[in-house]
Structure 1
């Protein structure tokens, strides 16, 4: 095989292994990854913005009601690029397994077979994950979840989430850099008094 053909074959193989490439950051419910939160005022609930739990470098804001959806949330950065949308999650109004199967079939047709699957022995938890590469948003994940149980750590019914993991990491790295800078500029604090057992017990 000639060097040119060998190079072409290796590039083709790399593209296949990387999975489908999106032409642009994916969009869900009219919200596109990478858009700025200030341009979405007509879609968002202005009184429902708060920091993401355990991810203080991100802010989550509820969306206004939309036909076909029970609820929805947009997550945007507040450090590296404040206001840039990095994640969209929508909870469908139809919580049935039949609807889940339709959405799953549509996603497979558009993006191919999912890279990961997770579930439980009862069959009431089904999570499918696609990992895609986009020239703008970088590492993009699409997660379809179905749950019909009593564990409130999972969203009941059907939900779909799209996220740029590359942009989430940028926000995380930005926050860590700022925290490191703040730590080095502060004067050392006096050691805190050790907490005794009585402090942790109910009275």
Structure 2
């Protein structure tokens, strides 16, 4: 029963993408990059949290089974420009097998051609292929990943990012941070490296 459901999810994920017809494939499982986050609030749970080490992005967790076949994930928007546009979609599948991952990669390759880069590790504890797209001033990427590393979302997942939107939020954040740093008198200096050696 698990395989038919997984294959149905593949169709759901890919049929809404325009492929190589000239448009960026911005829609994944019913979520569209660049759209206002307010229309997806019903699919989210818990508080909106600033992404660690990426303070210009805010992330909200998806409710379990918000999409059939998906066990979890998140939707991410910027927080500097004040536009609240969806910039990243992360989906984690119930089927965590490498066999399912290989089927998913084949579907992507058939639709979009060979991936543009390998983003996994050399030991293949994490296998990740990335496709990059651009049109006009917009750029986006899709990362399809399988992992057995417990710190790297074990199982099969997809991360789709509107890279141009993330870059715009980053530039906004850097400009604001520069002004705040000047107001504080500049960055503080390290007193001694000895403070940063474990004892």
Q: Which TM-score band applies after superposition, normalised by the shorter structure? A: 0.7 to 0.9
Determine the structure 2 residue equivalent to 1:188. 185
Q: Give the CA deviation at 1:134.
A: 3.6
Kept after mapping to 2: 8 A contact 1:22/1:133: no
In the other structure, the counterpart of 1:26 is 26
Please report the TM-score for the alignment, with normalisation by the length of structure 2: 0.78
Highest RCO, 1 vs 2 (Cα 8 Å, sep ≥ 6): 1
* C-alpha RMSD of the superposition: 2.7
Q: Which residue of 2 aligns with 1:139?
A: 139
Deviation at 1:194, TM superposition (A): 3.7
Shift of the 119–54 alpha-carbon distance from structure 1 to 2, 3 Å rule, reads closer
Give 3-state SS (helix, strand or coil) of 1:41's partner. Answer: helix
**What is the alpha-carbon distance in structure 2 between the residues aligned to residue 119 and residue 57 of structure 1?**
25
Ranges in structure 2 where 5+ consecutive residues have no aligned partner: 1-18
Moved runs in structure 1, 4+ residues, more than 3 A? Answer: 19-22, 118-124, 191-202
1:71-150 to 2 correspondences below 5 Å: 71-120=72-121, 122-135=123-136, 138-148=138-148
Quick one: structure 1 residues 63 and 201, their matched pair in 2 at CA, closer, same or farther if it must change by over 3 Å? same
Aligned pair count reads 178
Deviations 1:50-72 (Å, cap 9, x if unpaired)? Answer: 11111100001101122201111
Structure 1 unaligned residues grouped into runs of 5+: 1-18
Find the structure with the greater CA-based Rg. 1
